[in-house]
Amino acid sequence: MQVTKNDIDVLNTKITIVVEKKDYEPKFKSELEKQRKQAAMKGFRKGKTPMSIVKKFYGEQVLAEAVNTQLQTALQDFIKDQELEVLGDPIPEENHEVVKFDPNDLKDFTFVFDAGLSPKFEVQGVSATDEYKKCDIAIDDKTVDEELLAGRKRLGTQVSIDDSIEEKDI
């Protein structure tokens, strides 16, 4: 598998991944074999469906899954190995062509991702010797009680009562 990085500017980069046939083919074939053993198609005993029919029905899905697994692993490993500080997840390039997965014609696939990099910066004007005041704010019980009462009025629920109605009841 080939993974390359092309820096566009300080904050943007393109990651190109070429998933080669030799990388995904063993997984693709083993998954098709699993599908063949589980397939119960009309006219064939369970597990005895010819591989060509299994490939016709399930091949595209299994191939896409095998390639995607290899792609995601390669992308995450590359980001980890290169120690890239990526903001969010890399997204597929906007003008990337639609990939057609043909289980009868296995080939190499190329994917390009746009990634946003975390900016490098240094806070200036702050040193280890600077001292700062910490404000200790005291809140009196009266303010706390008023806020609790206001919160109860705002967030209270309406219920039907059988007793007499009192002032400020909702």
Q: What angle do CA 75, 78, 81 make, to 5 degrees?
A: 150
pLDDT bin (cut points 50, 70, 90) of residue 170 is low
Containing H/E element for 148? helix 141-155
Average pLDDT over residues 65-93: 93
> Which one, of 64, 130, 123, lies nearest residue 99 by Cα?
64
User: Could you tell me the strand order of the sheet in which 12-19 lies?
Assistant: 2-7, 12-19, 109-117, 86-92
Q: What distance in Å separates the CA atoms of residue 106 and residue 62, rounded to the nearest whole number?
A: 12
15/53: higher pLDDT: 15
CB 60 within 8 A of CB 103: yes
Q: With left for phi above 0 and alpha for psi between -120 and 50, is residue 23 left, alpha or beta?
A: alpha
45/73: higher pLDDT: 73
